[in-house]
């Protein structure tokens, strides 16, 4: 069978179709919902949408924000729902190369999930009330009633789980950054955050509009 030759327009259209095909990523990210932030894995992406996988049920909200590790944020709308996975459409076509390469002036850092929950800091024989600000596999940011010394070894209790041993890395007034002695697995992180801030059922009467791409500073 002879080769089929394409005209300039056909070749251009074929190139566009090839460029728009989904790319397999398997990259950590998070979705931002009305009820909080949740860990997800970007399974594949195209200029028009992305397939996300979760380590628990997918969020019930049809419109959420997808945020990459570099802070770039994209409004997305769900188009299909499966078991622990869902497909979303971007509010407007994205630049696929920027999404895939995820440029950032900062070093690669783990996904941090904002969460607001009561916690207890055990410092020696003292116990201090604290509140979680964010959580990652490697550590947490907390607001604590007491000022904890840098390099202090503590136990951090939250969510009714076994206290986690940690070391204080930085302190700024009431805010402290702590690093866990034993990092959490991504499964543990995802399900712990979901238990601390469960999904809320979206109100059909409340409509949200998403236009364009939001770029974090």
Domains of the chain: 8-101 (2.40.10.220), 113-196 (2.40.10.220)
The predicted pLDDT at position 41 comes to: 97
Q: Model's pTM, two decimal places? A: 0.81
Query: Distance of CA 133 to CAs 106, 113, 119, 130, Å?
Result: 21, 9, 10, 10
Structure tokens at 108: 């690669």
Residues in the chain with pLDDT values less than 50? 1-19, 21, 207-217
The predicted pLDDT at position 202 comes to: 66
The predicted pLDDT at position 6 comes to: 39
The predicted pLDDT at position 23 comes to: 72
The predicted pLDDT at position 72 comes to: 94
The predicted pLDDT at position 185 comes to: 96
Q: H or E stretch including 90?
A: strand 85-90
The predicted pLDDT at position 203 comes to: 65
Q: Which of 84, 105, 71 is closest to 41 using CA atoms?
A: 84
Which pairing describes strands 164-172 and 175-180: parallel, antiparallel, or unpaired? antiparallel
């Amino acid at each position: 069978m002879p080769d089929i030759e394409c005209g300039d327009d056909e070749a251009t259209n074929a190139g566009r179709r090839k460029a728009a095909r989904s790319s397999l990523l398997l990259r950590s990210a998070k979705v931002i919902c009305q009820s909080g932030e949740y860990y997800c894995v970007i399974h594949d992406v195209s200029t028009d949408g992305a397939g996300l996988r979760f380590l628990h049920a997918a969020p019930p909200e049809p419109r959420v924000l997808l945020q990459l590790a570099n802070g770039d944020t994209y409004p997305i709308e769900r188009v299909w729902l499966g078991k622990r996975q869902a497909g979303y459409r971007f509010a407007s076509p994205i630049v696929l190369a920027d999404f895939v390469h995820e440029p950032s002036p900062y070093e690669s850092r783990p996904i941090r999930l904002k969460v607001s929950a009561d916690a207890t800091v055990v410092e020696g024989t003292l116990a201090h009330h604290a509140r979680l600000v964010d959580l990652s596999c490697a550590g947490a940011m907390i607001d604590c009633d007491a000022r904890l010394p840098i390099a202090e070894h503590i136990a951090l209790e939250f969510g009714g789980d076994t206290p986690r041993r940690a070391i204080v890395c930085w302190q700024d007034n009431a805010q402290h950054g702590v690093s866990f002695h034993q990092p959490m697995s991504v499964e543990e992180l995802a399900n712990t955050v979901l238990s601390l801030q469960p999904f809320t059922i979206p109100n059909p009467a409340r409509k949200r509009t998403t236009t364009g791409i939001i770029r974090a500073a």
